[in-house]
Amino acid sequence: MGVIVGDTVRGLYHAVFRPSRLVAVPGRRTDRSTAEVLRQSWQLLVVYLANLVLYAGPLTLAGIGISAGSSVPNWLVGVTGEEPGTAALFFAGFLQNSLYLFGVTVATLVGVHFALLVTLQSDGFFRTAYSIVYSTSIYLAGIFTIVWYLTTAGGVANARQFVINLQVEFIYAVIDLLGSDIAFQIARPETIVPGPFSVVGEAALVALAVLVVYYFYSLYLGTRLNHDAGRFESYLVIVVVVALPVLYVVGSIVATTIQQGSMLA
């Protein structure tokens, strides 16, 4: 018990004050045996799954995701059935809540490693996975938790609308950039800030922004330390991660445009 508490406190200290300790693979040896790599990969998987549970578990218990009375998505009906019990609802909600973080983790991992391969800086997939697992399961999970909080809590309406407006404005900026005349289902906000923020709303937004800074910094550090990359390559990795949502929106616009074109034809 004492060891767990000690490790947790040390982990929190590193997360706040020494992100480099968190994301750097211990030791710089690259001549590890297959057994050693497998053992370390297993440990990494356990860390990731534990953090995923720590993130998605409380969200599901708080009733976010799928709760009684809500409909089960088609893709889960095969697992939970049309009229699922409480345990199945919890499991389905947990899966639903985990998927966001898992999806972004995979996308970030692929994007970052692709950037490292292109710049010939990669020292191996494991080293990338190590930093991404810690970056996403701590800082990104924190970001998602705050977004969930803003989505569900009372007294933070303006902060919630501000975050939504930022995302809508971002999508419209990409649509404008492509010169597309596609209509997005949410109207462009007239103003980004809907009104003065409450104290709690402002604190949540500050925490959100600080976590975003930490997230990008941890990705930068992971690239620098685990792959001995230069500053340019490390900045490039951040550019790739920032570009991932842009690519996602561009892909959605292209898909919608093709769909509309085929419907007109």
Partner 1 sequence: MTTQSSVDGNGAQERDTDSPERQDSSRPQAAASLPIETSPTIRPVLVWMVITVALAAAVIGYVSSNTDQVGGQEIANILVQVVVVIALLVLVRLAIKVFVLTRTEYVVDATRIRRQYSLLLRTWEREIPAEMIRSRELRQSRIQKLLGYGTIEINRGLGDIRLENVENPHDIADALTVITRSDSDSKL
| Residues at the contact surface with partner 1, assessed by CB under 8 A | 16-18, 27-29, 162, 192-193, 196-197, 202, 205-206, 209-210, 213
Residue 62 near residue 169 (C-beta atoms within 8 A): no
Residues 6+ apart with CB under 8 A from 194: 157, 158, 161, 162, 165
What's the CA gap between 94 and 116, in Å, rounded? 33
Residue 205 is which amino acid? L
Long-range contacts of range 253-256, CB-CB < 8 Å, 24 or more positions apart? 253/174, 253/175, 253/178, 253/180, 253/182, 256/182
141-152 and 157-178 helices, crossing angle to 10°: 120
Report DSSP state, residue 68.
Answer: T
Which is closer to partner 1, CB of 27 or CB of 261?
27
Which is closer to partner 1, CB of 116 or CB of 205?
205
Find the shortest distance in angstroms from Cβ 83 to partner 1.
45
Which is closer to partner 1, CB of 31 or CB of 83?
31
Find the shortest distance in angstroms from Cβ 17 to partner 1.
5
Which is closer to partner 1, CB of 99 or CB of 166?
166
34-61 and 141-152 helices, crossing angle to 10°: 10
Find the shortest distance in angstroms from Cβ 31 to partner 1.
11
Find the shortest distance in angstroms from Cβ 210 to partner 1.
5
Find the shortest distance in angstroms from Cβ 221 to partner 1.
13
Residue in the block written with tokens 């980004």: 192
Which is closer to partner 1, CB of 21 or CB of 57?
21
Helix, strand, coil percent content, the chain, rounded in steps of 5: 75, 0, 25
Which is closer to partner 1, CB of 54 or CB of 213?
213
Residue in the block written with tokens 């991932």: 244
Find the shortest distance in angstroms from Cβ 199 to partner 1.
11
